[in-house]
Amino acid sequence: MRLPITAWASITHRATGVILFVGMAILLWALERSLSGPQGYAVVVECLSSPIAKLVIWGVLAAGIYHSLAGIKHIVMDFGFGETMEGGVLGAKIVIGLSAVLVMLAGVWIW
């Protein structure tokens, strides 16, 4: 069975929500640690300079970008625009394409 693009967009929207939920724990730890004092801040800065930490931050940022754009698409659909199958497919393609561009720009910014 082949799922339509609208199904993949919906599944990905839910998956990025889970990624953001888990990613918030990492980001909150980094915030708490960096605000604990100069030594904690130095630990976070050192940790965030590693390639693995940059990859994790990029992943959380990518999930946030996609999840936000898909959420905006859902809000637009709630107002009655793009409720047809053709509109849903076009909306999903726009979200995926725009997300890909913004995620690449975020990667350039982080790295």
Given pLDDT bands bounded at 50, 70 and 90, which one contains residue 45? Answer: very high
Residue 1 lies in a domain: no
When pLDDT is averaged across residues 67-76 and rounded to a whole number, the result is: 95
Does the structure show a pLDDT above 90 at 43? yes
| Cβ count within 10 A of residue 101 | 10
> What 3-state DSSP class applies to 52?
helix
Cβ-contact 65, 106 below 8 angstroms = yes
Judge whether residue 61 has pLDDT over 90. Answer: yes
Please give the single-letter amino acid code of residue 69: L
pLDDT at 75: 94
* pLDDT at 83 (0 to 100): 87
Range of the domain at 14: 7-110
Q: Is residue 75 part of a domain?
A: yes
Residue 59 sits in a domain whose CATH number is: 1.20.1300.10
Q: Which pTM value belongs to this model?
A: 0.88
86 in a structural domain: yes
Determine, yes or no, domain membership for 101. Answer: yes
What is the number of domains present in the chain?
1
Within-domain flag for 106: yes
What distance, in Å, lies between the first and last C-alpha atoms of the chain?
A: 39
Q: Report the share of the chain in percent with pLDDT over 90.
A: 89
Condensed to tens digits (0 to 9), the pLDDT of residues 76-92 reads 999 999 889 999 999 99
Maximum alpha-carbon separation in the chain = 56
| 2 part of a folded domain | no
